[in-house]
Structure 1
Amino acid sequence: MQKKSILIVLLLIILSSYFVYAYSAKEFLQDYKELITGKAVQENKGGLFEEIVDFFKSLFGKKNVGADIRREQDKEVSQLNEQLVYLNEKYQQIYNKQNLDELVEINNKRKQKTIELMQKDPNEALKLVFDENERNKFPLEVQKDMEEKIVQEGKLEIRYADDFENPKNSKYYYDIIDDNFNKINVYPNKNINLVSNSRVEINGYKLENNLLVDVNNENLQILSLNEKAEETNENLGEQRTIVILMDYVDENNVLYPTISREDAQKAIFEEANDYYKENSYGKTWLTGNIVGPYKTTKPCSEYESIKLADKDVNFQNYERIIIFYPFYLRQNNICNIGGWGYDGISSLGKNYWSTEDGLISASYSLNLRKDLWVTGHELGHQFGVMHANLLDCNNLGYFEPDLCNLDYYGDPFDIMGNEGTRSRGLNPHLNAYNKEVIGYLSEEEIINQIEGEFDLKPIELGGDGIKLIKIPMPNKIYEYSLEYRQPIGFDKDIDDKLYDGVLLHITMPWHGADTSLYYPKDITIKPGEVFEDHSDNDVKIKVLSAYGSYAKVNIESKIQPFSRLDGILIEPKWGFIETLPNTINTIKLSIHNTGVIKAENIIAKLYRYEFIIVNNSKNGATEYIEELLSEENFGNLDAGEYKIIGLRYNTDEPRYNKYLIKINSENNFNEDGIKLRFTNRVSYEGAYLSLANFYLRDEFNTRLDKPPKVNQKILLIVDIYNQGLETAQNSTLSIYEAERTCNPYGCNYQPIGKIFETTRDLFKDLNREVFYNLEYTPRKSGKTYLTLELNHPNNRNPQKEFYYEFDVQPNKRPSSIKEKYER
């Protein structure tokens, strides 16, 4: 009887483990299936199976500490919301300072908890925000520290943290940079499949420097994509690279050294250089220098690394930044995000950086390993490509999302996946789609086709011939791509089955998305085998032969021929331009026909526009007021071809202008056509200096939630920018403590003592801002007044003085040992 009981318990444990695993796998695949199919997959809720799963998960399931923390944060924010509403009703009945102070205090707590929830779980945070109607019910003293519905336009910066040991922990991080180069943290409720420096317009909730976004077609407008235009591709040619070595010093003052200069030289300028030179057919190579090592107590900080290297490096001379920290930090999970460690973190394309030599645009990666499968992978992100995954469709001869399993990083034949091959010291070529994204394949090497017979050349070899066949899928968000491999160079000795057929990938028709290798019966589609897509498009792909020097492929489908236009801005390069008043300017566009037939009668229209939020609901959309400035016909464009076009317009007086370009053809598959936007700031001649921002932080550079106290060391953050087109050399910033006197006609500030002065250049570079972090210690309580003076002989701004005031709390001395202990 005892043995039988033990067996029953063991059986229950096995069953529970199975149910938990099945349930988790189902959740994990859900989002991907929605992405691939373009439709939601229905889940059965509340059945007996779910109850069994929940029961066994509670008994045996692994505790999800992160989820528990998020649930606790949800509860806290929800309770603070209720408290806030109650106190506001109380305040509306009795207007007094005590009720207002209580309301402000609770709202400050709610603000911090809401920001934490935005960072941890944007979906839950969206459920708990106040919409504009609810927000307007609160007094202004409270509203200023509540989330506000805004429309924010700017350039996206995207980073990706790679955890190769636990791929599910890998994660995106987003920022948006406005035209004044202010950086705002973006917390979307789902991934944004773009690359850095794509220009977007986001409709979301801003709280301090954080923007919460419900990602959909209304709340995220893509204004221009940062994709390749043949003549402007920054991924080609010499890649000027600075390598920064960082040693880590822990709290016990123990030093952990990073890799040596010799290892860094080998890892980047030999192994990674050889890999990308071969992959690009000699079009890309790495050159540069190595600096450091620098000692730091801040683990895995790209900002700290660049700051320490700034004195030794002119970052204007580099476009790629590679940072190495000790592997010890990976072994001990010291470099982590949300508790999970990572092997490397990279920008997806280029980001903006403020350095002593001016504003630069550069991509970066931070590595904790020196192996090529990490350094080469992170460089791939720098060049703008994402991950190579694996779709295992259980030996089916066709693609069926509900029967396929996603293995993240699982494509063994691409360094952007490389699972299973990296352990053998192998680093396969990038797949053909990723080579197209970076810009290694020319127009002649890529075709979009829905039917016909074609020869595929090996992707390892340069020269003429088709290396990528893309099969566009109308009314689907995915397409198919075909390529052929041979045992050449980095693709040697991988797997004999790789070389005797054609590889099939499922890809997205925009850059910045993952690729997924479709796993048919045996790695590739072999000669004589047929792949079938059972959608309305009824695509059939048959491999006729694979001879080594080429593979012959036949494609059949029921897809009706169509044209499809894509477009990108070439100039202005970042979707932003600064010009003088009353000038004629020209913008350049690259138009690409990604369809399979000629695009006829292409017309481009240029508008000046403004936008407004048209309602106050949580899903408030935007409305555009448009003024047509010009219209031009650019004729026809054959399938697969690019065309560079130019549009001219006149500027007016100094101001911000937003422009919208609409491009369409008579037979474009997308009826809305292409929409591209850019901003033109018409600026002043000479230098035009002004104060952009001024705020306080504590000595650890964290924003102050309460007024500082007497004798508390704080930082004054002074943000100045030059709105003119001339660099203001030797500009002087002076800050004085001041006294204020007021009369019925206004207030005057009289300087009483200089506390800070500095002289430096204020650059014209795209309205570059300069940040001064001044240590300051207030000596008395009450109102403190400061006067800021900006001086330069060619400053065209008539306002030279700016004023700032803030409260200082008394630093009360403890009246007893007990009170001192409690404080």
Structure 2
Amino acid sequence: MTGKQPDLNEVVATATQRKEELLRVIEDNPQAFLETALTADQLADVPQEIKDRGLVEKTVQTQGKLAVIVIDDLDKQQEKLEFYLDEPTTETVEYQLHFASNEPEMLLTDTQVAASGKALGNELVLATGGNQDLQVVTQALLTEPGVTERFAVIMFNFMNDHSQPMTPTDIHRRMIDDTDSMRAYYLENSYGAIENMTADVYGYFTIPYEKNTGYCDSYTWAIAADAAAFQSGVNITSYSRRVYVFPGPNNCTGSAWATLGGNPSRMWMPGNSYTPILSHEFGHNLGLGHASFLQCSPGYSGSPLENVDCPSSEYGDPFAIMGWSQTHDHFNAVHKTFLDWFAPEQVITATQSGVYSITPIETSDGVKAVQIDLPQSVYSYYLSYRQPIGVDADLPPAITNGAQLHATPYDVYAGSRSFLIDVNPPPSLRSDAQTSTFEDGDVFTDPVQGVTITQLSHSNTEVNLNVQLNYTGCRINSPTVEISPFSQSAVLDQTVTYTVTVTNTDSPDCSASTFYVYGYYYQMDLNMDPNEFSLHPQESKTITVTILVPPESNLSLGSHTVDFYTRGNDDGRHSAHTTFDFVLTGSLGQVAINPGSIDTTVGLPPTQLSALAYDEYSRPIWSGVSYEWGMSSDNTVGTVQPDYNIASFLPLNPGSGDLWVIARYGNDFSIGSIRVTVAPSNTPQPSVAPPPSASASPTGAEPDLDGDNDMDVKDVLELVAALVSQSERADLNNDGNVDVFDFAVLVARFGR
């Protein structure tokens, strides 16, 4: 006897309810989701329509670039990281990543990764943030701070909340105009390296999302706000720094948040954010983590580093902008070193015992920090000095009477995080950040690392410290890596070879160590021979690295930066990272314009366009392409404003025409065009004359370049050849040049 089959609508309703419950579980407890997820056998019994509707989980292996967002809850002194995976060729969010264990730290936005896990909707749960489930394909590079930092401030609100928490004047004043603005703060902190900041404020725009419904979807909101600005005529792609102002509080937990690095970098400012928070979040955009404090228990023994009795307080450095940023204090010395605001000679590495003098970080001259690399730790110590100067004018005497001691870990982005250390805590009390600095006569000892530091004296211009390094055993150092040649090129299915030399730089007291080398780049076959070897101190090994791009690869033409890593079988002190270049060469196939046509009306805002070149295998070409835009029409229907591979079309007069783009890649070129139709406006509009250089002149040359009495494709080919030869007979508009405007004249008469 066969039982009654369940109604499909009932199954859909049950699956929908289950999905909603599991999405809440993912947010709160990713491990519980993995334990609850259906097995492969169970999924096989699920109706296909339920799978097609995305109502059940699935196993996913994917790759793309990360967006890493640091969410700062300054009221609760808590940090949360969010990870989004973008599709490779768009800014569309493919998944938000969740980790059941070992959430990765200090991965920068735009890092290319390969991810494997269980997905439900747009949520992807990984068992671990380690190499097994999240593999770094290419490390992102930080966008170096520029002499001028140019911001787009995009103000938006929601379909169910049209409030405007700040005015354009408010945000511009806090970022740029006030004497204590973010611009003034960074000018002083960087010693003029960031000489100026500008902020162009746009909006408010209402995005097609509701506030306080569902999950905090800030990254999607940002993309929607970018799109709204773009549709209003803002060239949003020209801004590498973007700030979003919108109503708060909302369903996001945090005072403000920002991407860790990224190009573009992004900052989210809910509500009426004050200036120090702006400066803090921009620090994250520059690649910085937080300024923390090691809060050691009374009477702890040994080293404060990697000590269970010295837990970290995330925002615990109260006198650094990346810590508890209620005040606009200077970046600490660790972070200034990371940002290259100190000259190399201003940071001394103490390799032997001696007396060291340090000048205040608020001034631009003299030694600013003493770095002490530690033989048995993944950390380095940093000594620095603070004085009540400039934005630090309100620092208390407990901080300005002596040197500060920080620690920072070794890693790919060493120096991006800092840990303040109380050098002389009271025996019966926990460490106190407010009184953490040296005073004259104070002695700090790390018996594990063999370091003893004594403050000898201080003045308002310098502090003098005696540093004793008493560790005589093995000192482990990062290896050196040399790659030759740095760059090579090849076509599909062609192998190129690099030579890499790895040298063990440990002290002679150390024994031999095992080194592993690896690299990975999506769509390449990358091989190391050998990939594992043993080296004694000062011994070197030369290995061969080969690269081949298989014919089935989707790798785009152009230059690609390949990451190369070495590491030992220890705690990371044998780690090193470098890069080399590989250039995939090929031919230009075609250029496409998006949208594929324009139908608009006189008086409407500009229509935004983009062009993208493709190779002969229909793969996009992301670099090395030049684009020339133009327009031909029967009534000067509009103008084209180009900006590399994007453009805007402004309708001026009714009529029709063709908008075109010429893409050039090496010696190849391709032409793409779309039809443009402009309808008349109900409001009378003045007729606009064409620019002289874009239309035919009565005295210009005859467009029939091949003399067959037809304006056809043969004339196009003749004109393309003349773009190189600059033949006078192809100067169709008589402006003294053969260029895209002559092409416009020919297109206007094409087929006649």
Q: TM-score range by the shorter chain?
A: 0.5 to 0.7
**Post-superposition shift, 1:278?**
1.7
Separation (CA, whole Å) in 1 of partners of 2:285 and 2:119: 29
**Post-superposition shift, 1:193?**
1.1
The 8 Å contact of residues 198 and 222 in structure 1, kept in 2 or not, is answered as yes
* Letter in structure 2 aligned against 1:221: Q
The 8 Å contact of residues 481 and 576 in structure 2, kept in 1 or not, is answered as no
* Counterpart mapping for 1:535-546 below 5 A: 535=448, 537-546=449-458
Separation (CA, whole Å) in 2 of partners of 1:186 and 1:490: 39
* Counterpart mapping for 1:628-707 below 5 A: 628=528, 653=551, 655-656=553-554, 662=564, 664=566, 674=577, 685-687=588-590
* Letter in structure 1 aligned against 2:362: E
Q: CA, structure 1 residues 625+306, in 2 after alignment: closer, same or farther (shift >3 Å)?
A: closer
Separation (CA, whole Å) in 2 of partners of 1:435 and 1:591: 30
Separation (CA, whole Å) in 1 of partners of 2:177 and 2:65: 31
Separation (CA, whole Å) in 1 of partners of 2:145 and 2:242: 14
Q: Size of the alignment, in residue pairs?
A: 565
Residue by residue, what CA displacement relative to the aligned partner does 1:613-650 show, whole Å, maximum 9, x if unpaired?
xxxxxxxxxxx98645899xxx9999xxxxxx998956
Separation (CA, whole Å) in 1 of partners of 2:346 and 2:114: 34
Query: Does residue 94 of structure 2 align to residue 186 of structure 1?
Result: no
Residue 117 of structure 2: aligned partner: 204
Query: Does residue 171 of structure 2 align to residue 268 of structure 1?
Result: no
Residue 309 of structure 1: aligned partner: 229
Separation (CA, whole Å) in 2 of partners of 1:679 and 1:727: 21
**Post-superposition shift, 1:672?**
7.3
Q: CA, structure 1 residues 610+264, in 2 after alignment: closer, same or farther (shift >3 Å)?
A: closer
Query: Does residue 128 of structure 2 align to residue 226 of structure 1?
Result: no
* Counterpart mapping for 1:169-568 below 5 A: 170-181=79-90, 183=93, 184-189=95-100, 191-194=103-106, 195-217=108-130, 218-226=132-140, 234-246=144-156, 248=157, 251=160, 255-256=163-164, 258-261=166-169, 264-268=172-176, 271-296=181-206, 301-310=221-230, 311-325=232-246, 329-330=247-248, 333=249, 335-337=250-252, 340=253, 342-351=254-263, 361-366=264-269, 368-393=271-296, 396=299, 400=304, 401-404=307-310, 406-418=312-324, 422=326, 426-449=327-350, 451-453=352-354, 454-472=356-374, 474=376, 476-510=377-411, 511=413, 514-520=417-423, 521=425, 522-533=435-446, 535=448, 537-547=449-459, 548-558=461-471, 560-565=474-479
Residue by residue, what CA displacement relative to the aligned partner does 1:101-147 show, whole Å, maximum 9, x if unpaired?
86666444433432332233323223322355664565666666443
**Post-superposition shift, 1:487?**
2.4
Separation (CA, whole Å) in 2 of partners of 1:186 and 1:386: 20
The 8 Å contact of residues 387 and 514 in structure 1, kept in 2 or not, is answered as yes
* Letter in structure 2 aligned against 1:509: Y
Length-normalised TM-score, structure 1: 0.56
Give SS of 2:118's match: strand
**Post-superposition shift, 1:380?**
0.9
* Letter in structure 2 aligned against 1:123: Q
* Counterpart mapping for 1:6-25 below 5 A: none
* Counterpart mapping for 1:719-734 below 5 A: 723-725=619-621
Range 154-163 or range 108-117, more displaced: 108-117
The 8 Å contact of residues 160 and 172 in structure 1, kept in 2 or not, is answered as yes
**Post-superposition shift, 1:431?**
1.0
Range 392-401 or range 157-166, more displaced: 392-401
Q: CA, structure 1 residues 101+594, in 2 after alignment: closer, same or farther (shift >3 Å)?
A: farther
Separation (CA, whole Å) in 1 of partners of 2:206 and 2:34: 38
The 8 Å contact of residues 604 and 662 in structure 1, kept in 2 or not, is answered as no
**Post-superposition shift, 1:464?**
4.9
* Letter in structure 2 aligned against 1:431: N
User: Structure 2: which 5+ residue stretches go unaligned?
Assistant: 212-217, 426-434, 595-611, 631-657, 666-715, 717-752
Q: CA, structure 1 residues 108+670, in 2 after alignment: closer, same or farther (shift >3 Å)?
A: same
Give SS of 1:413's match: coil
**Post-superposition shift, 1:154?**
3.1
Separation (CA, whole Å) in 2 of partners of 1:167 and 1:728: 49
The 8 Å contact of residues 724 and 764 in structure 1, kept in 2 or not, is answered as no
Residue by residue, what CA displacement relative to the aligned partner does 1:673-722 show, whole Å, maximum 9, x if unpaired?
6587999887762237799xxxxxxxxxxxxxxxxxxxxxxxxxxxx995
Range 113-122 or range 596-605, more displaced: 596-605
Percent identity for Structure 1 against Structure 2: 19
Separation (CA, whole Å) in 2 of partners of 1:729 and 1:109: 53
**Post-superposition shift, 1:468?**
4.4
Separation (CA, whole Å) in 1 of partners of 2:478 and 2:514: 11
Length-normalised TM-score, structure 2: 0.61
Q: CA, structure 1 residues 671+459, in 2 after alignment: closer, same or farther (shift >3 Å)?
A: closer
The 8 Å contact of residues 448 and 472 in structure 1, kept in 2 or not, is answered as no
Separation (CA, whole Å) in 1 of partners of 2:482 and 2:581: 11
Separation (CA, whole Å) in 2 of partners of 1:448 and 1:142: 62
The 8 Å contact of residues 387 and 400 in structure 2, kept in 1 or not, is answered as yes
Give SS of 1:160's match: strand
The 8 Å contact of residues 517 and 566 in structure 2, kept in 1 or not, is answered as no
**Post-superposition shift, 1:564?**
0.8
Give SS of 1:305's match: helix
* Letter in structure 1 aligned against 2:67: E
Residue 744 of structure 1: aligned partner: none
Residue by residue, what CA displacement relative to the aligned partner does 1:30-76 show, whole Å, maximum 9, x if unpaired?
xxxxxxxxxxxxxxxxxxxxxxxxxxxxxxxxxxxxxxxxxxxxxxx
Q: CA, structure 1 residues 762+177, in 2 after alignment: closer, same or farther (shift >3 Å)?
A: farther
Give SS of 1:284's match: coil
**Post-superposition shift, 1:602?**
14
Q: CA, structure 1 residues 158+598, in 2 after alignment: closer, same or farther (shift >3 Å)?
A: farther
* Counterpart mapping for 1:617-628 below 5 A: 627-628=527-528
Separation (CA, whole Å) in 2 of partners of 1:447 and 1:95: 80
Range 547-556 or range 493-502, more displaced: 547-556
* Letter in structure 2 aligned against 1:462: S
Residue 157 of structure 1: aligned partner: 67
Separation (CA, whole Å) in 1 of partners of 2:66 and 2:482: 15
Separation (CA, whole Å) in 1 of partners of 2:84 and 2:387: 41
Give SS of 1:655's match: coil
Give SS of 1:687's match: strand
Residue 114 of structure 1: aligned partner: 22
**Post-superposition shift, 1:384?**
1.4
Range 132-141 or range 662-671, more displaced: 662-671
The 8 Å contact of residues 528 and 546 in structure 2, kept in 1 or not, is answered as no
